[in-house]
Amino acid sequence: MSLNAESTAFRSALEVIRAVEPRVADAIGAELADQRESLKLIASENYASPATLLAMGNWFSDKYAEGTIGRRFYAGCQNVDTVEALAAEHAKELFGAAHAYVQPHSGIDANLVAFWAILADRVESPALRKAQVRQVNDLTEADWFALRRELGDQRMLGMSLDAGGHLTHGFRPNISGKMFDQRSYGTDPATGLIDYDRVAEAAREFRPLILVAGYSAYPRKVNFRIMREIADSVGATFMVDMAHFAGLVAGKVFTGDFDPVPHAHIVTTTTHKSLRGPRGGMVLCGPELADQVDRGCPMVLGGPLPHVMAAKAVALAEARRPDFAGYAQRIVDNAQALADGLLRRGATLVTGGTDNHLVLIDVSGYGLTGRQAEQALLDSGIVTNRNAVPQDPNGAWYTSGIRIGTPALTTRGLGTAEMDATAELIHTVLDRTTPGTGPDGAGSKAKYVLDPAVAEQVGKQAADLLTPFPLYPAVDLG
């Protein structure tokens, strides 16, 4: 029997790898097997298409391409120009953006490009004129520190980590928390929702240079029209990090006030997660910031990754197909069905449900920490990640929450009926798990007790649930 193109491509690739380092080939094959067998509910993970995966394994990996299209620091970049232009074209059409910069290697790189572009654009001071330079990256270290003192308003207001924000929105140990005088806005303690009046009050008091919206663990929509009005009221640049929900914007599930692109001065995103592309980042902006954004390399980035830009072009082309809108809607439908199933079984959810692709379970209702719940679920074949909840008493390491999401399972084809079954499996594990004790007999935030027979049974049920929905069905590694 002849093999299809996908199977031939991946089998051939593994044979070539195995001839050099068989352990790497074995690990690649094992990873596919593990992903096929796991009920993957990590909200930030997905499955890229075979075409996207194959676009990363090619000769573009061998090419340096610092600079931008037509203005490279290396010769021979005409083919890199082609794929970068294609990726940018697809991004602009998909999101309705005036400008797209597709070089960032990750979400944090995209955010750093945005931060520095905003700073470079906003800098108008005697220190800069005295230095007789036009670009922030031309400043000497002494000039830069003098400039920072003169600016005085190098402030960022972003969503707090425990409320659902991201590390790069000003978390102190992160570079964003060191670059800026930072303050956070949280959520209403009673509802877990953003209180826009309180955000406006914080903005008036703090007068930030940058107001950041976006999240990694907030299970609701954000009204970007209101956030832009708040930013405008204090003269702030409005930046949105849509890394988690970019696929819902691309698929036109989030429109109007809930689509960040028409409202933000600058938008950053990853290209994986709900967008279902390769691991990487991207920046969208208007013409007023385009020149500064395009200086991301060498301002922040090193050499672009042309092979990943090629994969971004493929994935963005896929997202422009009509069926992507239906896929994006199914992600949200599945998340809401999963939330409903958990609520009916007595689970406590932050904000009481979801409007997007993720659900945040407060596992303290089960008497567990997030770390205990995460490992107990993993032992049972359900892959999640622990996450802080608002005002979390267990902090960011042990946490009191579990974040789950539906992009990956939706890609496999699971629907709302399977989400209810998934809710039953999650509840069973959490309900049957109890906290363990440490060596001194005291209660532990990490150790737990779960009957191995329960874990085995749930793991079998999870595998049975996945059987009708094979992962990469066109790929047969033999």
> Is pLDDT larger for residue 3 or for residue 110?
110
Q: Which residues lie across from 238 on neighbouring strands?
A: 211
Least confidently predicted of 179-188, 264-273, 313-322, 466-475: 179-188
Kindly report the CA angle at 160 between 369 and 229, in degrees rounded to 5?
145
For residues 345 and 211, give the distance between their C-alpha atoms in angstroms, rounded to a whole number: 38
What would the pLDDT profile of 317-359 be if each residue is shown by its tens digit? 999 999 999 999 999 999 999 999 999 999 999 999 999 999 9
What would the pLDDT profile of 253-290 be if each residue is shown by its tens digit? 999 999 999 999 999 999 999 999 999 999 999 999 99
Over range 384-405, report the average pLDDT.
95
- Give yes or no for residue 395 having a pLDDT over 60: yes
Encoded amino acid at 351, one letter: T
For residues 184 and 196, give the distance between their C-alpha atoms in angstroms, rounded to a whole number: 13
**Whole-number mean pLDDT of the chain?**
92
Nearest to 42 by CA among 316, 270, 274, 218: 274
Over range 62-90, report the average pLDDT.
94
In the 8-state DSSP scheme, what is residue 419?
Answer: H
For residues 13 and 10, give the distance between their C-alpha atoms in angstroms, rounded to a whole number: 5
Annotated catalytic residue 225? no
Identify the architecture of domain 59-319 in CATH: 3-Layer(aba) Sandwich (3.40)
Annotated catalytic residue 63? no
Asked if residue 356 lies in contact with residue 219, where contact means CB atoms within 8 angstroms, the answer is: yes
**From 187, 237, 270, 422, the catalytic residue:** 270
Annotated catalytic residue 323? no
Confidence of residue 363 (pLDDT cuts 50, 70, 90): very high
For residues 108 and 175, give the distance between their C-alpha atoms in angstroms, rounded to a whole number: 9
Q: Which two tokens stand for residue 419?
A: 């989400």
Annotated catalytic residue 40? no
Asked if residue 246 lies in contact with residue 44, where contact means CB atoms within 8 angstroms, the answer is: no
Confidence of residue 1 (pLDDT cuts 50, 70, 90): low
Q: Please, which residues have CB within 8 angstroms of residue 240's CB and are 6 or more apart in sequence?
A: 212, 213, 214, 224, 227, 260, 263, 264, 266, 267, 268
Nearest to 295 by CA among 141, 136, 123: 136
In the 8-state DSSP scheme, what is residue 349?
Answer: B
**From 6, 84, 162, 241, the catalytic residue:** 241
Q: Which two tokens stand for residue 90?
A: 């697809």
**From 66, 153, 229, 291, the catalytic residue:** 66
**From 273, 295, 386, 403, the catalytic residue:** 273
Annotated catalytic residue 294? no
Annotated catalytic residue 270? yes
pLDDT value of residue 124: 47
Confidence of residue 181 (pLDDT cuts 50, 70, 90): confident
**From 11, 64, 181, 225, the catalytic residue:** 64
- Give yes or no for residue 152 having a pLDDT over 50: no
pLDDT value of residue 141: 57
What would the pLDDT profile of 409-457 be if each residue is shown by its tens digit? 999 999 999 999 999 999 999 999 999 987 777 788 999 999 999 999 9
pLDDT value of residue 132: 45
For residues 66 and 306, give the distance between their C-alpha atoms in angstroms, rounded to a whole number: 10
pLDDT exceeding 70 applies to what percent of the chain? 93
* Domain locations along the chain: 59-319, 323-466
Over range 63-81, report the average pLDDT.
93
In this structure, is the dihedral angle defined by the CA atoms of residues 49, 458, 368 and 356, taken in order, positive or negative? positive
Q: Classify domain 323-466 at the CATH class level.
A: alpha beta
What would the pLDDT profile of 294-325 be if each residue is shown by its tens digit? 999 888 888 899 999 999 999 999 999 999 99
Nearest to 148 by CA among 209, 236, 237: 209
> Is pLDDT larger for residue 37 or for residue 2?
37
**From 220, 228, 279, 330, the catalytic residue:** 279
